[in-house]
Amino acid sequence: MTIDNIYGAARARGLVSSHRQFSRDYLGRAPNYAADTGLSRCSVATLLNLYRRLGEARQADLQAEAFSLLLAAEDHDRGIAAARP
């Protein structure tokens, strides 16, 4: 599952009505974050906000998906850091 899928599921469940609301309420960012950055390029800090907020909203299945994305992002960041001199 991607963050776009998480957004779609949140919207289908009535948790959010727009990317702007998702950016603000679930990603903890400015309302234009999703539009400007793109959901596929969220930072680790943003994914952590999403994980926490989904837990608060008692959306355990979506929270688990956000956790998977968070772990993948952390692994990716480690790989990049390891390649630096």
Torsion region of 26: left, alpha or beta (phi above 0 gives left; psi -120 to 50 gives alpha): alpha
DSSP state of 31: T
pLDDT at 63: 95
Q: Model pTM greater than 0.85?
A: no
- pLDDT at residue 78, as a whole number: 46
pLDDT value, residue 7: 94
The answer to whether 69 and 62 are in contact (CB under 8 A) is: no
Q: How far apart are the first and last CA of the chain?
A: 33
- List the domain boundaries for the chain: 3-83
Q: What is the per-residue pLDDT across 34-81, written as a single tens digit (0 to 9) for each?
A: 888 777 778 889 999 999 999 999 999 999 999 999 888 866 554 444
For residue 11, give every residue at least 6 positions away whose Cβ sits within 8 Å of its Cβ, in sequence order, or none: 17, 22
